[in-house]
Chains A and B, each alone.
Chain A
Amino acid sequence: MTELLLSPLRRLGHSTINAIWRLGFITRFLLAILRYSGQSLLRFNLTIREIYFAGVMSVIIVVVSGLFVGMVLGLQGYNTLSRFGSADALGALVALSLLRELGPVLAALLFSSRAGSAMTAEIGLMKATEQLDAMSVMAVNPIARVVAPRFWAGVISMPILAAMFNVMGIFGGYLIGVVMIGLDSGTFWSQMQNNVDLHYDVVNGLIKSLCFGIAVTLIAVFEGYDATPTAAGVSAATTRTVVTSALVILAVDFVLTAFMF
């Protein structure tokens, strides 16, 4: 009987301790990445290679999603705004929602599922096939050789992808608002320009996407490095990357929004 009562408690305590242990490990891991970044940035072609796989390969999905999100914003925004007789504000609505929230958040979510999961799987499989150990044996630091280039590639790619998402979204809103519905093109752009502030909206959006880039890539490389070196372990780590990234992106977004706007 007591066993029945105690075992959920024990499990709760175990998972709490485990979570805190992982939090400590991930912080130490981040410090290790930063410490060995100098070495890996000297060989920048490693990072460029990873930017290709993480960033360039994500362009298509980000651009297409951005276009569709912008078009949906255009349609929905027009329906709602025209009810209040202010359809002219569509340009401002599309640009502000994309720059402040949708661009950074959705680009980060797409990035974590497109590139983050691949990073986890790759590093996890390297660990499972003992490639990381082989590197250590050859006096090559796996964090400097494998982890840090991927981390920096993600951090560099994320703001670029978010900016592309924003531009495509605004273009999508323009297509719907001006080309399809027939709002005045001048009003669309001037409303946008009057209401969007460079520092307040554009720069804050970029800072957001930079923070998401750090969070997503750190989670991805950490889960890969921490994965149980089996097929099932790598698969579980990949799932954890996507789930944790999504939660962390939304939580960090809330905190940043509360500070910024």
Chain B
Amino acid sequence: MKRSTIDLWVGLFVAIGIAAVVFLSLKVANLTPQSADQTYTLYADFDNIGGLKVKAPIKEAGVVVGRVAAIQLDTKTYRARVTLNLEKQYTFSRDASAEILTAGLLGEQYIGLLQGGDPDELKPGEHITLTSSALVLEQLIGKFMTSFTGSNNKSSASGAQ
């Protein structure tokens, strides 16, 4: 086989390989060049984050407005400090609230923001003060069980009278 033919096929091979990698990174991994100057950071402290993970989506009215950048434990208050990376185009008022929600019954957890009515806006680096923790299924069942057995005892006691 002639050398130029071989070169042509190898060139095609490498080109298709590069195209495959580009496809994998753009279409499959959804690489969107999001530099730091397009986002700003807010913090939110939660009593319990449940199964929240870094890179979990942050949604306002169901629309993804940012991602969780980091999760740390505040060693003074022993609450979880979640760093939120929000897109610059979305600003939130000072009394906006954040809660940890679950997509579906057993789906992944995300942060749901709820815009408040305060005209003042949260500036980068500030804290969202109104937070509510993740719903931990075990605790919920535990509460349900204790209240259930409690009411059961009461009803049996009233039945004995």
Q: Which A residues are closer than 8 A to B by beta carbons?
A: 45, 48-49, 51-52, 55-56, 59, 86, 95, 99, 157, 159-161, 163-164, 166-167, 170, 189, 192-194, 196-198, 201-202, 206
Distance between A185 CB and nearest chain B CB, rounded to angstroms? 12
Evaluate whether A167 and B24 lie within 8 angstroms (CB atoms) in the complex, with A56-B9, A160-B17, A198-B29 already known: yes
Task: Give bound CA distance, A86 to B30, whole Å.
Answer: 22
Of A55, A56, A99, which is within 8 A of B24 by CB? A99
What's the Cα separation between A167 and B25 when bound, in Å? 11
Contact indicator B9/A197 (Cβ below 8 Å): no
Whole-angstrom distance between the Cβ of B67 and the nearest chain A Cβ: 11
Q: Which residues of A contact B25 (CB under 8 A)?
A: 198, 202
Bound Cα distance from A139 to B14, whole angstroms = 33
Query: Please, which residue of chain B has its CB at the minimum distance from the CB of A192?
Result: B28
Nearest-neighbour CB distance to chain B for A220, whole angstroms, equals 19
Main secondary structure of the interface of B (DSSP, over half): helix
Cross-chain contact of A166 among B7, B18, B20, B30 (Cβ < 8 A): B20
Q: How far is the CB of A177 from chain B (nearest CB, A)?
A: 14
**CB-contacts of B6-38 with A (<8 A):** 6-7, 9-10, 12-14, 16-18, 20-21, 23-25, 27-31
Q: Separation in Å of the B139 CB from the closest CB of chain A?
A: 24
B154 at the interface (CB under 8 A from A): no
Please tell me if the beta carbons of A160 and B13 are within 8 angstroms of each other in the complex.
Answer: yes
Contact, CB under 8 Å: B28 / A160: no
Query: Is B143 an interface position by the 8 A CB rule?
Result: no
Known: A198-B29, A201-B29. A163 touches B20 (CB 8 A): yes
What residues of chain B lie closer than 8 Å to A99, measured between beta carbons?
Answer: 24, 28
Q: Chain A residues with Cβ under 8 A from B123's Cβ?
A: none
Q: How many residues of B contact A (CB 8 A)?
A: 24
Could you tell me if B24 and A202 are in contact, using CB atoms closer than 8 angstroms?
A: yes
Is the C-beta of B76 less than 8 angstroms from some C-beta in chain A? no
**A49 to B3 CA separation, bound complex (whole angstroms):** 8
Q: Which residue in B18, B29, B104 is a CB contact (below 8 Å) of A202? A: B29
Cα-based distance from A59 to B9 in the complex (angstroms): 11
Question: Which residues of the partner chain A approach B6 to less than 8 Å between Cβ atoms?
Answer: 48-49, 52
> Which residue on B lies nearest to A52, using beta carbons?
B6
Which chain B residue shows the least CB distance to A49? B6
A164/B16 contact (C-beta < 8 A), A48-B7, A55-B10, A56-B10 known = yes
- Contact among B13, B21, B28 for A95, CB-based, below 8 A: B28
Contact status A197-B55, CB under 8 Å: yes
Residues of A with C-beta under 8 A to B30: 193-194, 196
- Across the interface, which residues of A come within 8 angstroms of B17, CB to CB? 159-161, 163-164
Q: Which of B10, B18, B20, B55 is within 8 Å of A48, CB to CB? A: B10
Inter-chain contacts of B9 with A (CB < 8 A): 52, 56
**Interface-centre pick from B3, B6, B17, B31 (highest chain A CB count, 10 A):** B17
Q: What CA separation (Å) do A52 and B8 show in the bound complex?
A: 10
Residue of B nearest to A48 (CB): B10
Question: Which chain B residues border A56 with CB–CB below 8 Å?
Answer: 9-10, 12-13
Known pairs A52-B6, A202-B21 / 9 extra A-B pairs, C-beta < 8 Å: A48-B6, A51-B10, A52-B9, A56-B13, A59-B13, A160-B16, A160-B20, A197-B55, A202-B29
List 25 interface pairs A-B (beta carbons < 8 Å), by A numbering.
A48-B6, A51-B13, A52-B13, A55-B10, A56-B13, A157-B13, A159-B17, A160-B14, A160-B16, A163-B17, A163-B24, A164-B17, A164-B20, A166-B20, A167-B23, A170-B28, A192-B28, A193-B29, A193-B30, A194-B57, A196-B28, A196-B30, A197-B29, A198-B25, A202-B29
List of A residues within 8 angstroms of B28 by Cβ: 95, 99, 166, 170, 192-193, 196, 202
Whole-angstrom distance between the Cβ of B20 and the nearest chain A Cβ: 4
A202 to B30, CA, bound (A): 11
- Least Cβ–Cβ distance between A155 and chain B, in angstroms: 13
Which residues of B are found within 8 Å of A159, using beta-carbon distances? 17
